[in-house]
Amino acid sequence: MKAEFYDVKSRTKIEAEVKYKVKYENGHFGIVGEAPDGRKLPKFVSEDAYNTTYKAVKVQAKAEPAKKAAAKPAAKPAAKACAKKCGCKK
């Protein structure tokens, strides 16, 4: 089954074969196609389209979450204004 996907790299809409459909942990539904050069092309769809239009498409067992960048180390808390002015430790 073919569907229209937006290719971010080429900034155009392309028609590609739907490889599988996914249900994300946050409750959203999507389909994934493949670009001619092998990249994955995700697209969010409504629950109705997921259950009816893409009924014949195989379901991926578990949606892979996006990789997150490493968190920056927390900054040290700033000294209180009073401690800077008068030297007390309130």
Q: Which DSSP string do the residues of 1-47 spell out, in sequence order?
A: -EEEEEETTTTEEEEEEEEEEEE-TTS-EEEEEE-TTS-EEEEEE-H
- Which pLDDT tens digit goes with each residue over 11-65? 999 999 999 999 988 889 999 999 989 899 999 999 999 888 888 787 876 655 5
- Check residue 70 and give its pLDDT: 63
- Which pLDDT tens digit goes with each residue over 2-16? 999 999 999 999 999
Q: Which pTM was predicted?
A: 0.62
Q: What is the DSSP letter of 57?
A: S
Token pair for 44: 């969010």
Overall number of domains in the chain:
1
pLDDT above 70: residue 68? no
Note whether residue 71 is domain-resident: no
Note whether residue 54 is domain-resident: yes
Note whether residue 39 is domain-resident: yes
Q: How far apart are the first and last CA of the chain?
A: 68
In terms of residue numbers, what domain contains 47?
2-64
Cα–Cα distance between 39 and 63 in angstroms, integer?
16
